[in-house]
Each structure stands twice: as structure tokens, then as C-alpha cells.
Chain A
Amino acid sequence: MTDWVYTDKVKDHFQNPRNILAEESSFKEDGKGMVGNIKCGDQMLMLIKVDKEKGVIKDCKWKTYGCASAIASTSVLSEMVKGMKLEDAYNLSPKDVTKALGALPEHKIHCSVLGDKALRAAIDDYYRRNEMTDKIKKEKARTICQCMNVTDKEIEHAVLEGARTYLEVQERTKAGTVCGQCKEETIRLLEQYKQKHFTNPA
């Protein structure tokens, strides 16, 4: 038999996803995050229970409308965060999840981003419920392209979704399509995000 589409680790988590939420009503969560949209092909719900004294995630359950990569990456993520401090969980990146899975093809990275985002949304929700809103890290977006009002976050998102060249970033975000003054900055960010999300440390 030839190798499967993805790594054995992905296959294992796809076949036996861990921590799936069975009954939403019976799980008394401390924080809940839902991201994505089924129209775009994926959606993720994540619930967490928190040890309030230690600030540690005690339990984590999830559900998804998503592909094999979304299922496997969220399954792995749900195992990683149990027992993890809220701050550390908050700082997990898609790359950490990919590493735990062995590897994901580049065009599947965006599927693994979803679990990560849902987790942060759940932590934010916990902070909100417990009057700790000061801890919510606003994703500070900086406008790069003034003409089309495109932020660095949008450029990062485009890279995660598969843009690898300036032209592809332009196609997805429309950055630099009017006066073109932001070209240098956009290319710098493009390289930075490619490095951040897609280069494995040697």
C-alpha cells in the first residue's frame, strides 16, 4: 500500500479524533469560541474548562465542519492544551500544531489555523466571563496599503491561505493595486510571514 495522503499522525487523529464534544448541553464550559463559516468550507467550535486558581486549561472539547486536516489538527491541539497555562495556550501558533502532526501540505495549513483561532476565541470568552478583559490581546492590525485599506493581518491571512508571491498577495488582498507605494513593505511582510509559518527550523 502506498503512503496515505497525510502523515501517520494525521491519519491517526483523523480516524480517532480526541476530545470531540458529544453533548453540548452536558459540558459546562468556562469559555467558548466559534470561528469560520460553513460557506467557506470550514467552521470550528471549541469549549474549554479552566482551573481558575492556577489559570490552567483543565479540559477542552471541540466540534468542526471541516476537512481531514482541520479534524486532525484540532484533535492534536485539544490534547496539547490540556494542563497548559492560558497564556501559553494563547500563544500557540499554527506551526506548533503542524509540528505536532509531523507535517501538513502547504495548501492545508489554512485548515489547521482554524482550531488555533477557535481556541483563542474560547480563551477570550473565558476572560470576558471573568472580568479579565484586560488580558484579551487585541490583534493590533496596522494598515499597510492606504489606498485599499489592507492591514498586516490580512496579508498574513493571505499567506496562510496560500499566497506565496507579491502577485498572489495582491490578488487576494488588493494591496498595492492602486498607487503601489506599499509594495516594498508588503513584500517584506510576505517574506516574514512565509518564514514564520512555513519554514521549519533546521
Chain B
Amino acid sequence: MGKKMIYMDHNATTPLHTKVKKAMAEAMDLFGNASSFHEFGRCARAEIEKARENIASFIGAGAEEIIFVGSGSEANNTILNIFSCSCQSSCGADAHKREIVTSSIEHPCVRETSKCLNERGTPVKFISVDRFGKIDAEQAEESITDKTGLVSIIMANNEIGTILDVKKIACLAHKRGAYFHTDAVQAVGKIPVNVDDLNVDFLSFSGHKIYGPKGIGVIYVRKGTPFCPLIRGGHQERGRRAGTENTLGIIGLSKAIDMRRIEMEDEEKRLLQLKARLRQGIEKNIPDIQFNGHPADCLAGTLNVSFDGAEGEAILLYLDLEGIAVSTGSACASGSLDPSHVLLATGLPAEKAHGSIRISMGRDNTEGEVDYVVEKLIGIIERVRKMSTAYREKK
């Protein structure tokens, strides 16, 4: 390629850690079906159960509380579907507590599933957030009722990086006898997560956001909590998720977790410094901008910024032509006409949401790269604004 390539879209996905790559390459011949009784099967089973212990202990869970699934989205879909399930006698959910309470800034896999369940008759409430993406505790308290079966709140938002007070909301849910789930796909491996400390009943995350492989997701289910499988037809995962185990994915995720144990703390500090540098660079050099998300309670590597008068997809693609990869909350990039529901939920006007980009940094990014991105961004924003009908320089 020859061209300088800078990847700053780590909330979308991350590259495999070299150690993960190595562990997966070494496990490549472990083809046995973990359900088989013979030696081949037992070898795979042993590795899977070792990984399960390791992954469970990373979030303070017991191995038997971990279910491997195909992705974070599958994990979230599974959990949301438990409470609207009509076979409640067998899965243990209370038929009188079917209502779901969730936030207005969930990932689409929670948002769309909630909407779909709602159309099929499950009452769903969406709690609003403030301009930083934090939940209004008062509204949460009002929304959660004796009819609520499940409260599902994202732990760290993928678009703006805001870290929510899930512990507090979990407490509110339990007060009303409801179960609590957090979508921790952007949180596990980036910030400390302990299921007992947070007091959550369900938690979901995936491998590919933390330098592990794609195609592996995890559901944590607290012992004694109702559960109903989404994928049926096999006894795998103690009858909770049918389908032959993704041995390679599980081993890769376990290695990724090993590396997180070692690297997470220092890396988060380094990312915070990089973000401060990026933020200053943008603030100092580009007028008429606005940062989105919480200024302090935010994922270390995530910076979401709106540029007045500049459309997001155009910015993203001009950056792409410079070899810089970011993401946007603009509608045009996704093919829909509505800009990011997360940005709109924080009260950002549509015209600002259309001009937003998300920069999410990770372990390979450097100060030099941050400076390069700022330099390119200055030129691109100036250029886009020059041809914009919606930008007048404030003098």
C-alpha cells in the first residue's frame, strides 16, 4: 500500500493482538467437537473449559455462569428475549413481570430488539439521558415498576464513550424485583468490570473489541436467574445455546483477556493522554466545534466531535483518502436519513449530529498519529466548510 494508514476506529473493531494470533494459530488443529467423548473431543473440551474459567474470573463470575455465543449482538438478543418468552413456566421468568426498561442510547442490537418485542406485545420503556449521555436516575426510578421484568442499560456507549452508572440503576431495578442486564461490549477489557460489585444479573460482551477474534460473544447469567435459549437444538453450553462450540474463538478470547489483565491499566492511562492531545489539537485549531459525551466518565480512547457546517460522511471519506479510519454519526454513511439516535438522545440538534465523527483510539496509536490526524483534519474541515451552504465563519 505504501501509504500511511492510521486506524482510529477501535469501537467498531480491533486488530488481533499478536499474542492472540499466536494462541489461535497454535490451536488451529484442535478440530475435535467438544461434545465428542473421544480423545479429539476431550482435547477441545479441556481448552474450552480452561478458557471459560479464565474469562469468568476476569469479571468475577463463576465458570458455570458463562455462556459462549456468536457475538455481542446475539448475547443481547438472547437476554432481551427471555422476559417476553411465553414459555415462562420452563424458563422461570415471572409472567406478571414482562415489561422491559432500557435507555435511549443503547446499541441497535438492544434498541431494535426492544422495539420488535414491543411490536409483539411486550411493554417497553426508554429512559432518556442528559446531554452527556447519563441516565436521569429520577426518571429511571419512575420508569421501573412492579411490572418490570428486565432493566437493560449499556455500560459504556459505543458512539460517545460515556460510562453509565449501571450500579445505581441495577440497585433501582432490584428494589422493584426486576432483573438487571448491562451491555458491556465496550466496557469489558477497557474499564474494570466485576459482576458482584456492579450487582448485575446479566452481562454481555464480545471478543473483537478487545483485540480478540470476531464471532465470539459472552453472556454472563447469575446463578438462579431465569434463562431461555435463543438458539435451540443442542445440549451445548448446558442447554443454553445450541451449536458446536467455537473452540478457536473461545481460545482467542481467553488469550485476549490474558493480555487485558496485563495491559489494560497502563494502556488506558496512555489513551487518556492521547485523547487529551487530540482534543487540544482540535480545539486549538478548528473553530465552531463541539465535543460530545461525558467529559470525565468516558472511555479513554473515544472522542466524539461535531463540526458546524460540515457533513460527517464527507469528512469520513476525505479522511479515508488520507489513510485515516474513523467513524461517523452521520445518517448518510449508514444509508438511513436519520442521524445517530445516540447523539439525538443527548439533545444534539440534527444538523450538528449530521456533522459528527467518532475517533476511537487503541493500543497501537501513537502521539505522532494523533498529530497527523489533527493536521489532516484541519485542512479537511476547512475545505468542506468552504463548499458548505451551512457554514459562515464567525468573526
Query: What is the minimal beta-carbon distance from B21 to any residue of chain A, in angstroms?
Result: 22
What does the 1/0 interface line of B169-180 toward A look like (CB < 8 Å)? 000000000000
- Cβ of A173: which chain B residues have Cβ within 8 Å of it? none
Residue from A44, A45, A65 having most chain B Cβ neighbours under 10 A = A65
Please report whether the interface of chain B is mostly helix, strand, loop or mixed according to DSSP.
Answer: loop
Cβ contacts under 8 Å, A161 to chain B: 337
Residue contact B354 to A41, C-beta cutoff 8 Å: yes
Nearest CB on A from B351, distance (A): 4
Q: Which residues of A contact B311 (CB under 8 A)?
A: 41-42, 65-67, 70
User: In the docked arrangement, what's the CA distance between A21 and B335, Å?
Assistant: 27
Bound form: Cα–Cα A38–B349 in Å: 10
| Option from A34, A38, A66, A108 in Cβ contact (under 8 Å) with B351 | A38
Q: Which residues of A lie under 8 Å from residue B349 when comparing CB positions? A: 39
Q: Which residues of A contact B330 (CB under 8 A)?
A: 41, 67
Residue from the list B313, B314, B389 in contact with A44, Cβ < 8 A: B389
Which of B1, B339, B387 is the one whose CB lies under 8 Å from A17?
Answer: B387
Interface core residue of A17, A34, A45, A66 (most chain B CB under 10 Å): A66
In the complex, A130 has a CB within 8 A of chain B:
no
**A41–B332 CB distance below 8 A:** yes
Q: Is the CB of A45 within 8 A of B317?
A: no
Bound complex: CA A107 to CA B313 (Å)? 14
Docked complex Cα distance between A110 and B354 (Å): 16
Check A38–B390 contact: CB distance below 8 A. yes
B374 within 8 A of A: no
Contacting residues, chain B, for A141 (C-beta < 8 A): none
Once the chains are docked, how many angstroms separate the CA of A5 from the CA of B333?
Answer: 11
* Distance, CA A85 to CA B349, complexed state (A): 41
Cβ < 8 Å to B, chain A residues 138-197: 161-162
Cα(A162)–Cα(B168), bound, Å? 42
Q: Give A56 to B153 CA distance when docked, in angstroms.
A: 61
Cβ contacts under 8 Å, A43 to chain B: 389-390
B332 CB contacts on chain A under 8 angstroms: 41-42, 66-67, 69-70, 108, 111
Measured CB to CB, the closest approach of chain B to A106, in angstroms, equals 9
Task: Report yes or no: A65 in contact with B333, Cβ–Cβ below 8 A.
Answer: no
- Alpha-carbon distance A197/B26, docked complex (angstroms): 53
From B1, B3, B337, B388, A65 is in contact (CB under 8 Å) with B388
For residue B337, which residues in chain A have a CB less than 8 angstroms away from its CB?
Answer: 40-41, 110, 161
A68, CB-defined interface residue at 8 Å: yes
Residues of A within 8 A of B387 (CB): 17, 20-21, 63-64, 71
Given contacts A41-B331, A63-B389, contact A5 B351 (CB under 8 A): no
Kindly report which residue of chain B lies nearest to residue A14, judged by CB atoms.
B317
Q: Is A1 an interface residue (CB 8 A)?
A: yes
How many chain A residues touch B (CB < 8 A): the figure is 34
Within 8 A of A (CB), among B349-395: 349-351, 354, 386-391
User: With a CB–CB cut-off of 8 A, which chain A residues contact B318?
Assistant: 14
> Is A15 interfacial (CB 8 A cutoff)?
yes
Return B249 CB to nearest CB of chain A, in Å: 25
Q: Which residues of B contact A111 (CB under 8 A)?
A: 332
Max chain B Cβ within 10 angstroms of own Cβ: one of A5, A39, A70: A39
B319 to chain A: closest CB distance in Å? 12
Residues of B with C-beta under 8 A to A15: 321
From 300 to 317 in chain B, residues with beta carbon under 8 angstroms from any chain A beta carbon are: 309-314, 317
Q: Is A67 touching B1 in the complex (CB atoms < 8 A)?
A: no
In the bound complex, CA of A67 to CA of B336 (Å): 13
B310 cross-chain contacts in A, Cβ below 8 A: 65
> A68 with B390: in contact, given A38-B351, A161-B337 (CB under 8 Å)?
no
| A64 proximity list for chain B (CB < 8 A) | 387-389
Task: Give B contacts to A, CB under 8 Å.
Answer: 1, 3, 309-314, 317-318, 320-321, 330-333, 335, 337, 339, 349-351, 354, 386-391
Sample of 25 A–B contacts (CB below 8 Å) = A1-B1, A5-B317, A14-B317, A20-B387, A22-B386, A38-B351, A38-B354, A40-B337, A41-B332, A41-B350, A43-B389, A63-B388, A63-B389, A64-B387, A65-B389, A66-B314, A67-B311, A67-B314, A67-B330, A68-B313, A70-B332, A71-B314, A71-B387, A107-B335, A108-B335
Known A41-B350, A65-B389; further 14 A-B contacts with Cβ < 8 A? A5-B317, A14-B318, A21-B387, A38-B350, A39-B351, A40-B337, A42-B311, A43-B389, A66-B314, A67-B311, A67-B317, A67-B333, A68-B313, A108-B332
List the 6 closest pairs (A to B, CB-CB), nearest first: A67-B332, A107-B335, A67-B313, A65-B390, A38-B351, A41-B354
